[in-house]
Amino acid sequence: MDKKDVIMLYSDFEGTILRESDGNYDDMEMYNFLKQLSKLQELTGAKVKMHIVSPISKNDMSKKLERLDKNFMNFNRLQKDSLAKLNLIEGAAASPSEEFFRKGEADFLHEVYMRRVDSRIVDLKKPTDQNSKNPAAFGKANYVRSWTELMKTTNNVKMVIYCGNGRNDLDAMSYVTRQKGGFVICPKNSRHEAKAMAQCVSEKTDLPGITDGIAKINRMLEQKSDPGKNLTDNNEQR
């Protein structure tokens, strides 16, 4: 069976998809982001498989995935071409649930909690060094590496993209930059260590900055397919 062409896209939440100021995003900004992902699929002929990695609680991640699902579905309703339609978020990693319960808390509370957790979410794996000063960095990198290597066995991974802005993104970024078609995107509100590893550092913050990065990849692909085409520095956010 022929392998399918896919693009693995990983993103942090806080300060990337979500604004640092209030932990939210605007639906129109999300639409612009999805529009660029759709264009990326059309230019490459590959399906985007998107994952979220963040040390927020699994319960909070579930709520946010529910809203993202609605954004994706609303976007897809407007698309006629099947290649323009986007798959929903494929997976996510968040902080282990036990970190949010006091020792000895009633079992039924944990069961209620777990019923609310989206089945796509797994625990961020903890480092073997319990004294690690940045455990989320290990968990994020482990998740990104595991999913990417798994996808390579069943699909043709044409690109691996990572969007992040902090110290706990660095290990994952390092892995992605070593991959064929690896590309790291940072919004303006990123730590200088993250910016140093990125192929695209936007002049915009949060989600618009991530959209900028995907738009840059699209312009590069268009230029490669038609070197004579005059492309403006425009991420098509209307």
Q: Model pTM?
A: 0.88
pLDDT score recorded for residue 201: 96
The residue ranking higher by pLDDT, 2 or 217, is 217
pLDDT score recorded for residue 98: 52
CA distance 59 to 62: 5
Domain segments of the chain: what residues? 4-225
Q: How confident is the model at residue 92 (pLDDT cuts 50, 70, 90)?
A: very high
Residue 15 · residue 187 · CB < 8 Å? yes
101 pLDDT more than 60: no
Task: Of 52, 53, 45, 82, give the one whose Cα is nearest residue 68.
Answer: 52
pLDDT score recorded for residue 108: 42
Q: Give domain 4-225's CATH number out of 3.40.50.1000, 3.40.630.30, 3.40.1190.20, 3.40.50.1400.
A: 3.40.50.1000
Q: If 0-12 CB within 10 Å is exposed, 13-18 middle and 19+ buried, where does residue 80 land?
A: exposed
Mean pLDDT of the chain: 89
For residues 195-202, give the mean pLDDT.
Answer: 96
CA distance 6 to 231: 25
The residue ranking higher by pLDDT, 26 or 117, is 26
197 pLDDT more than 80: yes
Q: How confident is the model at residue 194 (pLDDT cuts 50, 70, 90)?
A: very high
Which H helix or E strand runs over 2? none
CA distance 173 to 163: 8
pLDDT score recorded for residue 97: 60
29 pLDDT more than 90: yes
102 pLDDT more than 60: no
Residues 6+ apart with CB under 8 A from 111: none
